[in-house]
Amino acid sequence: MTGKKLNVGIIGCGKIAQTRHIPEYAHNTHVQLEGYFDYSQERASTMAKQYGGRAFDSIESLLADDKIDAVSICVANESHAKLTIQALKAGKHVLCEKPMATTLEDCEAMIDEAKKAGRKLMIDQNQRLARAHVIAKKLLQQNTIGSVLTFKTTFGHGGPETWSVDPGANTWFFDKNKAKFGAIFDLGVHKLDLMLYLLDSHVTSAFSILATLDKRDSAGELIGVDDNAFSIYKLNSGVLGTVAASWTYYGEEDNSTILYGTKGIMKIYDDPEYAIRVILKNKEHIDYSLDQIQTNDQQTSSGMIDEFVDSILSKRVSISDGETVLNAMKATFAGIESNEKGQMIEIN
């Protein structure tokens, strides 16, 4: 890492920026927070007063500032591609929130623009960096549970209406125009991306069911996006697995993953005491007391900001480079198509 500081701008100062991006940049000694933009000028000004830098009155003026080297895109899903491409064209490195974009074509356009601009494009798939997931990947590479045959992974909580910077039934997460899709975009992409990362694989076929079971808007009508999504994926390695994403887990969050191998089972973030539990065929148990994964109520450092900054300053490919996220997005869109057609979708 060089001694140079990275000057950063924030586009979108909502909850994810306030709880993750901005404080984590502020904590990184190699970063100078230079600018903020939000459609609520008051929100941007509050962040500038708290962390230093200045509030800009437009995205264009922030991107035109030559001092700013990199930006975080923390806006509603439908604007991810447009603003990422705009920032790359302006010569900025980009860390974009997930989901990468709302169409596969937009995802590919983002990757193409990053290559053309010679700038970093990183997607905030932060589950790759959760401590137990880092250890789990090493254990899988060491053949600890043998060849993985199947998996099931879940991400469910009580819904974004308690998490959003504008809480309640009018959150943008429930607005089809801004979010496009619901739980599958908010939570499902996290766990699918994680599985492909852990297993170093890609999806060859997908079957998904998306449903709106309980969430209602301010008029009392069911929202226009899915509050539950259940998917079955087949990987190129022959592994079969399920991904469950839900906004209707009202008792407590579930962010667990279980892998079933030829030598035994690995449970990740499935036990309140042990972050990883390995149960082998011979009944031997290997337990790892590490961390517990972040929840909406208990935020800890994601590690993604430090990874983004270091990848730029060290001039290396990041662990969550945009191109590596494309497989998960292809499979997610295939699942959405599967739900619409009611059939398994093959991925070329």
Span 5-31, pLDDT tens digits: 999 999 999 999 999 999 999 999 999
* Burial (CB count within 10 angstroms: exposed 0-12, middle 13-18, buried 19+), residue 239: buried
CA 4 to each of CA 16, 164, 174, 221, 310: distance values in angstroms, whole numbers, following the listed order: 27, 35, 41, 52, 11
Tell me how far apart the alpha carbons of residues 178 and 170 are, in angstroms, rounded to a whole number. 12
Query: Within 10 A of 211 (CB to CB), how many other CB atoms are there?
Result: 16
Q: What is the SS3 assignment for 289-326?
A: CCCCCCCCCCCCCCCHHHHHHHHHHCCCCCCCEHHHHH
Residues 27 and 160 in one domain: no
Cα Rg of the chain, angstroms? 20
The answer to whether position 245 is within a domain reads yes
Residues 35 and 25 in one domain: yes
Kindly tell me if the per-residue pLDDT of 291 is higher than 80: no
Kindly tell me if the per-residue pLDDT of 128 is higher than 60: yes
Per-residue pLDDT tens over the stretch 103-124: 999 999 999 999 999 999 999 9
Asked whether 150 and 271 are in contact (CB, 8 A), the reply is no
Q: In the numeric block, which tokens belong to residue 68?
A: 């700013």
The answer to whether position 163 is within a domain reads yes
- pLDDT bracket for residue 294 (50, 70, 90): low
Q: In the numeric block, which tokens belong to residue 186?
A: 């908010």
The answer to whether position 198 is within a domain reads yes
Kindly tell me if the per-residue pLDDT of 202 is higher than 90: yes
> In terms of pLDDT, which residue wins out, 165 or 101?
101
Tell me how far apart the alpha carbons of residues 298 and 296 are, in angstroms, rounded to a whole number. 6
The answer to whether position 1 is within a domain reads no
Residues 176 and 99 in one domain: no
Give 216's strand partners. 222
Residues 89 and 189 in one domain: no
Tell me the whole-structure pTM to 2 decimals: 0.94
Residues 83 and 17 in one domain: yes
Residues 74 and 105 in one domain: yes
Residues 106 and 132 in one domain: no
Residues 295 and 154 in one domain: yes
Which CATH number is 54's domain given?
A: 3.40.50.720
User: DSSP assignment, residue 240?
Assistant: E
Quick one: which H or E segment has residue 258? strand 257-261
Residues 158 and 271 in one domain: yes
Give 152's strand partners. 242, 258
Q: In the numeric block, which tokens belong to residue 137?
A: 């990947």
Average pLDDT along the chain? 95
Residues 145 and 106 in one domain: no
The answer to whether position 291 is within a domain reads yes
> Does 99 sit behind a cis peptide bond, omega within 30 degrees of 0 on the bond before it?
yes
Per-residue pLDDT tens over the stretch 166-185: 778 999 999 999 999 999 99
Domain total of the chain: 2
Tell me how far apart the alpha carbons of residues 281 and 261 are, in angstroms, rounded to a whole number. 10
Tell me the CB-side half-sphere exposure of residue 23, using CA atoms within 13 A.
Answer: 11
Where in the sequence is the domain holding 224, given as residue range(s)? 128-300+328-346
Provide the 3-class DSSP secondary structure of residue 124.
coil
Instruction: Please tell me the predicted confidence (pLDDT) of residue 344.
Output: 98
Tell me how far apart the alpha carbons of residues 92 and 64 are, in angstroms, rounded to a whole number. 10
Residues 113 and 208 in one domain: no
The 10 Å CB-count burial string (b at 16+, else e) for 298-324 is eeeebbbbbbbbbbbbeeeebbbbbeb
The answer to whether position 334 is within a domain reads yes
The answer to whether position 252 is within a domain reads yes
Instruction: Please tell me the predicted confidence (pLDDT) of residue 1.
Output: 47
> With the CA atoms of 117, 44, 22 and 327 taken in that order, what torsion angle do they form, in degrees rounded to the nearest 10?
-50
Which CATH number is 154's domain given?
A: 3.30.360.10
pLDDT (average), residues 219-223: 96
pLDDT (average), residues 62-73: 98
- pLDDT bracket for residue 301 (50, 70, 90): low
Share of the chain above pLDDT 70, in %: 96
pLDDT (average), residues 191-217: 98
The answer to whether position 221 is within a domain reads yes
Under 8 Å CB-to-CB from 262, ≥6 apart: which residues?
Answer: 145, 146, 147, 149
Residues 338 and 284 in one domain: yes
